Structure 1
Amino acid sequence: MPPFRPGQIELRIDRRTLWIGQAAYPLHNIARVFPVVLTPRYAEAFGRFGRRLAITVSVAFVVAAIGNLSIEMTQRSSTRSDNASSFTRTVVTFGVIALVVHVVNLLQVVLQKPQQAVAIETNGTSVALITAPDAQRRLALTQHIAAAIDDPAAGLTVHVDTLSINPAHYYFGDTVNVHGTGNVGRITL
């Protein structure tokens, strides 16, 4: 077995358990193993940014207008314009800070690239993602894990790369909901 590279963990099949690093998955509980391309949610990120931009600008405009109107009605004319411009600068400053945060959130998704992975789904809601540098190795990992489910005694020990992603920023395969009121059937990406 080649030595570990930085960012790798050990994937091991020992008796009837799949070990990915320190996480254990009973082989009889694995429902599906498949290669997948995790695609960033670019459209949703731009839509979310547009909504946040509109809300931030609208709120800043309304707060500035109400604040300036209040200042006009309650203060003498000598201090009125200084207080109004100071209040407007404060509102604009907070608006700009909010917009910077929204731009950072947008860039966190837009700067991501698609990720190639092998997904290991269990009968519950748990999913493990592993990857390898090339498509052949990812396919081989898929086949080895599937074969180990049929014959756990064969065993397997390999080093795999880990993924560090925010699942909210990526599409993870098809959307399937065939139960309840939100029934969409299967939506293939």
Structure 2
Amino acid sequence: MAKQKVGEIRISKRVVKIGHEVYPLANISRVQTLRLVPAGKQATFYPLQQIVILLVLLAGIGVAALVVLPELDPGFDLEATARQFTMLAAALAGIRMTYLLIVLFYRLIRKKRYALVIETAGTQYTALSGTDSSELHRIKDRIVDAIEDPPSNEQTIHVSGDVVMGDQHKQTGSDSRMTFNR
């Protein structure tokens, strides 16, 4: 699903229109802005686990090549073969380690993501998401003001910044869920 930018939000006496979604003001029980925290394989420090496993495996291969294999006598140059295998494993581990360090660096510098969640009758809907926390808080405040005191005329809220419709964090796959930092 492509990210659909939100140009404006319309608030009338009875409903809030965000893009093609319409929420009755009377049915909205809670509006909140939450920080999205990546979980599972998308978590910031997940690559560190793989780096540690890779180092342990590489150390195990090195110990096996230097300690265990020289004691065996198969009739050919096992030590040279073990050295070549260890160098190949080290080269592959180096490539994987470089990739994991790039992923870790990216995850350390990525922007924080936020979601505007509207709850109606116990069901939460992620109406908007993006990296602009202040814009989402401003929209939330305007919706809450409209719930407390519905406007007599339709109001238009112009949306700017990095704000898109719905949950653009992780929408597909078997691990499609949001983790909230409450």
User: In structure 1, what is the Cα distance between the partners aligned to 2:151 and 2:93?
Assistant: 58
**Which residue of 101, 104, 129 maps to 1:103?**
101
Gaps of 5+ in 1: 1-5, 175-189
User: In structure 1, what is the Cα distance between the partners aligned to 2:70 and 2:13?
Assistant: 75
Q: Once the two structures are aligned, what percentage of the paired residues are identical?
A: 20
Matches within 5 A, 1:13-162: 13=11, 16-35=14-33, 38=35, 45-46=44-45, 48-66=46-64, 69=68, 73=72, 75-78=74-77, 80-114=78-112, 119-122=116-119, 123-130=122-129, 135=134, 140-150=138-148, 151=150, 154-160=153-159, 161=161, 162=163
RMSD: 4.3
Please say if residues 69 and 82 of structure 2, whose CA atoms lie closer than 8 Å, have aligned partners that are also in contact.
no
- Do the aligned partners of residues 111 and 140 (structure 1) sit closer, same or farther apart at CA in structure 2, a change above 3 Å counting? closer
TM-score with structure 1 length normalisation? 0.57
Gaps of 5+ in 2: 171-175
User: In structure 2, what is the Cα distance between the partners aligned to 1:33 and 1:50?
Assistant: 36
Q: Which has the higher helix share?
A: 1
- Do the aligned partners of residues 113 and 134 (structure 1) sit closer, same or farther apart at CA in structure 2, a change above 3 Å counting? closer
1:104 is matched by which residue type in structure 2?
I
Report the Cα offset of residue 86 of structure 1. 2.3
User: In structure 2, what is the Cα distance between the partners aligned to 1:71 and 1:19?
Assistant: 74
User: In structure 2, what is the Cα distance between the partners aligned to 1:93 and 1:139?
Assistant: 49
Which deviates further from its counterpart, 19-28 or 106-115?
Answer: 19-28
User: In structure 1, what is the Cα distance between the partners aligned to 2:129 and 2:52?
Assistant: 39
Residue by residue, what CA displacement relative to the aligned partner does 1:91-150 show, whole Å, maximum 9, x if unpaired? 1122223322321332232103456x5723323243233569794x65542232123335
User: In structure 1, what is the Cα distance between the partners aligned to 2:65 and 2:7?
Assistant: 57
1:45 is matched by which residue type in structure 2?
T
Report the Cα offset of residue 51 of structure 1. 3.0
User: In structure 2, what is the Cα distance between the partners aligned to 1:132 and 1:166?
Assistant: 11
Report the Cα offset of residue 58 of structure 1. 0.7
1:129 is matched by which residue type in structure 2?
L
Report what 2:7 is aligned to. 9
